Structure 1
Amino acid sequence: MLIRRETPADRKAIHTIHSEAFRREPGVTPVEAPLVDELRADGDLVDALSLVAVRGGELVGHVCCSRARVGEDTSAATGLGPLGVLPAQQATGVGSALVHAVLGAADALGFGVVVLLGNPAYYSRFGFVTASTLSIAAPDPAWGEHFQARTLTGYKPTQAGAFEYAPAFSRI
């Protein structure tokens, strides 16, 4: 398996990955697929943090991070998600490889913290903790333990306060 940055030629396959990975009912496109398209169109997708997994020459997974704000800081945080893997490739290590790769890339780019909304049982293996333990407040307090953060090398305890996703998240 190869993990690499997305290219413009990957966009249709990325949309399909998220459509299939998050499909809840037949014929209904889940919000995660157009969310990636909107983040890209708004210029909020961090290009270096939009990664695909390629297996056997086919795209099988995608993860991305977008611009975000913690408190007054608009440069230290990024929002991870969505992370999508084709159903036939789930539970084969694709998602884990994508998360490890995007965390390493975010660290190399100097981000201090990566924030997401997701399953604590899955994301805790990558060092994510409940964001409130780092004094990072969720946009919706009902998210509780599902709103998580992972500190990176550039993290400073002053990177705290209310978290704000890129505008596309509020449109879904």
Structure 2
Amino acid sequence: MDIVIRQEQEDDYKKTEYVVEEAFKTAEYTDHTEQFLVAKLRNSNAFVPELSLVAEHDGEIIGHIMLTKVIIRNDTKEEEALSLAPLSVLPEYQKEGVGSKLIEEALKTAKKLGFKSVIVLGHDQYYPKFGFKPAKNWGIISPFDVRDEFFMALELEEGSLKDVSGLVIYPREFLE
């Protein structure tokens, strides 16, 4: 299957939000508001346009990924990082490698833009294949009540989390 990964454009927004809604319709752990989160994040200070990507097949958007800025804060310092959320693929295209292509391109772009690390709250059997490890390995704590194995971090630059620890501060849009 031919997949084109590109930056999301403003005229994609409605279609992207439809893809996000459909992707999470039958998901186990969701409040079914991810499409609204995407819309809110686009209007936030955390939004990085180059890190909102869509996957197209035959000219149709079938997937979307968004990485937005977060802060990892402890008593002595703050470190900027990214949050991977959400990753969405239309149900009929899931398990075809679309999500993997979106993640790989988003991580590559994030590294090119100079970001050093990415946080994800997600499936512990899926994200480790991209290099994600439990965030607790670095002393990075989730603000959400989740099991450690579901809250993960990835160094985009080797050693970039060596001296980073603390609570992840998400944009308020995640908490609304």
Aligned 1:109-124 pairs, distance under 5 A: 109-124=113-128
Aligned position for 2:173? 168
Alignment of 1:116-155 (within 5 A): 116-153=120-157, 155=160
Distance in 2 of aligned mates of 1:61 and 1:51 = 8
Tell me which amino acid in the other structure corresponds to 2:90.
Answer: L
Structure 2 residue runs without a partner (length 5+): none
Corresponding letter in the other structure for 1:131: A
Aligned pairs (5 A) from 1:7-46: 7-24=9-26, 30-46=32-48
TM-score (norm 2): 0.89
How far apart in 1 are the matches of 2:113 and 2:147? Answer: 28
Q: Residue type of the partner of 2:9?
A: T
For residue 157 of structure 1, the aligned residue among 147, 155, 162 is 162
Post-superposition, which runs of at least 4 consecutive aligned residues in structure 1 deviate over 3 A?
A: none
8 Å CA contact 1:70, 1:164 repeated in 2: yes
TM-score by length of 1: 0.91
2:100 corresponds to 1:92? no
> 104, 107, 126: which one pairs with 1:103?
107
Report the Cα offset of residue 89 of structure 1.
0.7
Query: Which shifted more, 29-38 or 106-115?
Result: 29-38
The structure-2 alpha-carbon separation of the partners of 1:141 and 1:157, relative to structure 1 and needing over 3 Å to count, comes to farther
Structure 1: runs of 5 or more not aligned:
none
Kept after mapping to 2: 8 A contact 1:63/1:99? yes
Distance 1:142 1:148 in 2: 11
- Distance, in Å, in 2 between the alignment partners of 1:43 and 1:24 is 30
Aligned residues: CA RMSD: 1.6
Cα–Cα, structure 1 residues 142 and 126, in superposed 2: closer, same or farther, change >3 Å? Answer: same
Residue 69 of structure 2 is matched in structure 1 by: 67
How many residue pairs get matched?
Answer: 167
Which range is displaced more, 143-152 or 55-64?
Answer: 143-152
State the percentage of identical aligned residues: 35
Q: 1:66 to 1:117 in 2, by over 3 A?
A: same
